[in-house]
Amino acid sequence: MGVGLAAVVGIGLTGCGAVGGDVTGSDQAGVEVSAGMGVEGQALAAMGFDPNEITPAEFAQMAIAKGAPSASPAPKEKDRERGKLRKARVLLRKNTLHGEAVVKNKDGATQTVLVQRGQVTAVDGDSITVKSSDGFTISWGFADDLRVVERRDSIQADQLEVGDQVGVAGTKDGDRGEARLVVVPRAK
């Protein structure tokens, strides 16, 4: 993926309140858990997916073993202001449907990174098609290192079904995406 991709995801997470000076102890633990799933996991966490749903239980155990840092107390006025900003960021990331960013990789070449939230409309042996609620549709091929997580359990890609609500992150390859991480969140 490259340093550039990690930087873009880091910037995206900063803008969404998942990284930075105002991270609470529980948020920091979530960031560490999603970081265990790589930049794709961080990108989906930035879209509002629960880090605990992104990360299979075996990865989550690593973060639990490390322990979450505790938050230092802040004056009440600062806390109120942070609360307002956090609510705005949560609203933004919970409503993000899809997006892309062009980044430089280690070699200096550019790469387009994609994220999408939507419903699976087609499945075949090596790809899925996902449609977001605004009508945006893209076919995602499966990368060799694809990880699929459903309710904290790693599953096989062939277990995805038409109608599943998913979050997908990966790279752009022509007019398709190459999925590296697919998350099937629990029903709300």
Contact 41, 35 (CB under 8 A): yes
Residue 64 neighbours by CB under 8 Å, 6+ apart = none
CATH class name, domain 99-184: mainly beta
For position 10, what pLDDT does the model report?
A: 38
Identify which has the larger pLDDT, 86 or 9.
86
User: Tens digits of per-residue pLDDT, 65-123?
Assistant: 555 554 555 567 767 766 666 665 565 567 788 988 887 778 888 888 899 999 999 99
For position 87, what pLDDT does the model report?
A: 63
For position 33, what pLDDT does the model report?
A: 45
Angle subtended at Cα 5 by Cα 162 and Cα 122, rounded to the nearest 5 degrees: 10
Distance, in Å, from the CA atom of 46 to the CA atom of 38, rounded to the nearest integer, reads 13
For position 74, what pLDDT does the model report?
A: 53
Of 27, 40, 152, 25, nearest to 90 (Cα)? 27
pLDDT of 150 above 50: yes
For the chain, give every residue range classified as CATH 2.40.50.320. 99-184
> Could you report how far apart the first and last alpha carbons of the chain are, in Å?
32
Q: What percent of the chain has pLDDT over 90?
A: 34
Mean pLDDT on 164-182: 93
Identify which has the larger pLDDT, 117 or 41.
117
User: Tens digits of per-residue pLDDT, 51-63?
Assistant: 777 666 655 555 5
- Provide DSSP, 110-130: EEEEEEEEEEEEEEETTEEEE
Exposed e or buried b per residue across 40-60, where buried means at least 16 C-beta atoms within 10 angstroms of its C-beta: bbbbbbbbbbbbbbbbbeebb
